[in-house]
Structure 1
Amino acid sequence: MNAVENHPSRRTAQWWGLLGAAFGGPWAPRARPGSGHVHCEPDWSWHLVLSDHDLWCVLDGIGRARLNGRDISLTAGCALMLRPGDEIEARHDPRSPLTVAYQHYAHDDPGHGGTADGCPPHLLPPRLVHLDDLPEVRRHLDGLARLRRRPGPDTSARTTTALAALLLEIHAQAARAAGDLPVLMDRRIHDVVEWLTRHPARRLDVHAAAASAELSADQFSRLFRRETGQSFRAYQVAVRIDRARELLAESGMTVSQVATVLGYADHRLFARQFKEHTGTAPGTWKRSA
């Protein structure tokens, strides 16, 4: 049994708890010199033996790499999570040059005499990750770039936190690719769900929702149920009742006021739907909150 097998699987909450504690404490990632967002020149090539960790993410283009003797195809959404001592060689197709973002960092532990490669190996992501949500990774990388461009007394602390969030996102996408975490919700359904959550008082017709997702009403309804486990109408009501529970518990609004602000012309309908979802009448919920 190897060292990794002695630790909890990343399928478990315990493993993710260990990872979060490590990144928030003794093995917090710290940015090192060497970062950027570059369009590689036509005759670009790369040959390096790493002295630290390097997140190297392909944003566009086509290329090939050889990492520690392993051949890798480079396309958009390919992230190399390089470690100290890794040897990397890479080239690209000049007709489709690479655009990459990268960030060098270390998992050192100054308080305990740690080194750049001291982080336990089972807490490091795979060396090759095929990202299923490149825009989210780019958002994190852009945030790091903004911090670098406007340095201040808060930069070090914020960079450490932002880098940890980026690495946790890489871990999550690697885990989804391996089947260790559930796959992401379909982007079209996610966008509709986000709209419903932000506008609980609004009534969105299924045909309008389907049009926003560029689907027919039937296609949208089937996909929505597959992704959320509920019908479109039932999900809308659930979102509205969740918001009602928050308002009844945290504001001074009466039951009637809550029903009104959530778009219920018939307050009896609100009371009935609230009880169906919570098992409790809204007035009872408010008094016990």
Structure 2
Amino acid sequence: MGDRLDYRGRDVWTELAASLGRTYVPEPSRHSGHVRCGPEWSWRFSLQDFDLWLVCKGRGRGAIGDQPVTVSPGTLLVLRPGDTGWMAQDSDDRLTVTFAHFALVAPATGLPVDLPADRLPSRHLRLTDFRAVHEPLLTVVRLMERAGPLALLEARLVFAHLLLTIVCQDAVAAGLAPEIVDPRVQTVMRFVRERPAERPTIQAAAAVARVSPTHLRRLFAREVGMSFRSYVLRSRMEQARSMLCESAMSVSEIARALGYVDVALFSRQVRAYFGMSPSDLRQAR
């Protein structure tokens, strides 16, 4: 029951992002559904695959292995192959559950991946945002009912996002939520990226974020690891590289499109940033 991802690990989110889609992908099963349990319902399980089992209504109790569990609306069980146990419902408050069995398979071969237990979220999780899990889980159930190839592809994509959502909620429950860039900084970053031909001042950006310029400088250094001015330059240079590699515009035209009056200054900044001239950068694509 204690086997779960260690969200305190320095590289846990990087490793998770690298693994999902490369080392393994979720393969949802047609053994999925949304049901209200009958009056005499009980469940003894010995699983051959993974199972997401989400309580929508009602209450119950049971065990996973030798660990007792109670369930109520918002309880999610993330069961693994080989898990055994049982579940019974409160006769006066019958269960309604949404569930989906799935496998984790290698993208290249489609063969099952033996993922260590400490690479998975908790078996017994109390969700912090029920809808964020239930809605995609129900979408997967409906897609698997359709059974067509496009429906299966969509189900796989939705399921991958669903697993990430579950992992994030598991981390929140453990008091170790993933680091998220301050929303004010995200607003400023969008403001800069949407204006590649401009060089917004720190004062203009601070007004967008509704903070003082001094506070925005501190936020940028802490959240992005660079100064606001450096981020503006990086955004313009990334746009310059895209235009050089993906368009037929001349170097002069690109410089003007990015707000440079002096083409020589544009060329010097490209060379300083990428280590090659605009023409060489274009040829190196």
TM-score norm. by structure 1 comes to 0.61
Q: Is the Cα–Cα contact under 8 Å of residues 23 and 29 in structure 1 kept in the other structure?
A: no
Calculate the aligned-residue CA RMSD, in Å.
5.1
- State the match for 1:23 in structure 2: 24
Q: Which has the bigger relative contact order, CA under 8 A and spacing at least 6?
A: 2
1:200-259 deviation line (CA, Å, top 9, x unaligned): 234434334333333232222211221111111210110110111121122211111111
- State the match for 1:162 in structure 2: 158
- State the match for 1:275 in structure 2: 271
Greater Cα radius of gyration, structure 1 or 2: 2
What code does the residue aligned with 1:268 have? A
Q: 1:232 to 1:124 in 2, by over 3 A?
A: same
- State the match for 1:41 in structure 2: none
CA distance in 1, matches of 2:229, 2:12: 33
Q: 2:186 aligned with 1:190, yes or no?
A: yes
- State the match for 2:280 in structure 1: 284
Structure 1 unpaired stretches of 5+: 37-46, 92-99
Structure 2 unpaired stretches of 5+: 36-41, 91-95
CA shift at 1:163, angstroms? 0.6
CA shift at 1:30, angstroms? 3.1
Pairing partner for 1:257 from 253, 263, 272: 253
What code does the residue aligned with 2:213 have? A
CA distance in 1, matches of 2:135, 2:217: 30
- State the match for 1:245 in structure 2: 241
CA distance in 1, matches of 2:181, 2:129: 11
Q: 1:269 to 1:16 in 2, by over 3 A?
A: closer
Pairing partner for 1:54 from 52, 55, 59: 52
User: Within 5 Å, which residues of 2 pair with 1:208-223?
Assistant: 208-223=204-219
Q: 1:146 to 1:33 in 2, by over 3 A?
A: closer
- State the match for 2:33 in structure 1: 34
1:119-143 deviation line (CA, Å, top 9, x unaligned): 6534432235688999976885586
Q: 2:81 aligned with 1:81, yes or no?
A: no
1:86-126 deviation line (CA, Å, top 9, x unaligned): 557899xxxxxxxx9955232288x9998xxx865344322
Aligned residues: 258
CA shift at 1:196, angstroms? 2.9
- The farther-off stretch of 139-148 and 151-160 is 139-148
What code does the residue aligned with 1:194 have? R
Seq. identity, %: 29
TM-score norm. by structure 2 comes to 0.62
